């Protein structure tokens, strides 16, 4: 799994002119799932996301987590995080998991994160043409890949 995590002051997802998810202060998380991903990857990544200390404390240092600031998560599925451009200019997505694997894992991530932060997770719609709006705070953007845990 790969996640691009952005600290935001606001973010929202629009599908067919309807808002499917919106947050104020918190994290916009773009998540890509590949065939090789397991439930262990999911658990590890959910723990990392929920525990990230990337919000500013009173001294302006990144020492606070979502729980410390009562923040929210907008979780968006994004298979293009596994795009490769080794050949030519058109990305290939062969590493991205197909829907029959990716959808249940995405739904499990929503549930796991909700349990960890004790809040409802805002989402997009898997496989839809989504329009994401955000105001990146910092900017702070973190990339995490479960295949690079060490």
109: its two tokens:
């991530």
* Domains identified in the chain, total number: 1
Hey, what are 32's tokens?
Answer: 């890509």
Host H or E run for residue 23: strand 18-23
In the chain, the N- to C-terminal Cα span, in Å, equals 15
Task: Please say if 94 is a catalytic residue.
Answer: no
pLDDT above 90 (res 2): yes
d(CA 147, CA 41): 8
pLDDT(150) > 80: no
Q: Which domain holds residue 74?
A: 2-148
Both tokens of 59, joined, read 């001294």
Task: Write the CATH number for 78.
Answer: 3.50.80.10
Q: Which positions ≥6 away from 118 have C-beta within 8 Å?
A: none
In this predicted model, what pLDDT tens digit does every residue of 52-89 receive, in sequence order? 999 999 999 999 999 999 999 999 999 989 888 888 88
The stretch 22-30 carries a mean pLDDT of 98
Choose the catalytic residue: 80, 84, 85, 141: 80
Q: Alpha-carbon distance 124 to 25, whole Å?
A: 17
Tell me how far apart the alpha carbons of residues 69 and 61 are, in angstroms, rounded to a whole number.
14
């Amino acid at each position: 799994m790969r996640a691009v995590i952005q600290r935001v002051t606001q973010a929202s997802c629009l599908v067919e002119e309807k808002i499917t998810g919106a947050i104020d202060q918190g994290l916009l998380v773009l998540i890509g799932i590949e065939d090789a991903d397991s439930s262990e990857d999911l658990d590890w990544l959910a723990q990392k996301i929920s525990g990230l200390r990337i919000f500013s404390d009173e001294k302006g240092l990144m020492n606070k987590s979502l729980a410390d600031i009562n923040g929210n998560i907008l979780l968006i599925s994004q298979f293009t995080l596994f795009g490769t451009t080794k050949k030519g200019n058109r990305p290939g997505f062969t590493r991205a998991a197909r829907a029959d694997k990716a959808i249940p894992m995405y739904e499990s991530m929503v549930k796991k994160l909700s349990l960890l932060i004790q809040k409802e997770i805002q989402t997009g719609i898997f496989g839809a043409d989504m329009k994401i709006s955000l105001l990146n705070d910092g900017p702070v953007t973190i990339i995490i890949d479960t295949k690079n845990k060490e």
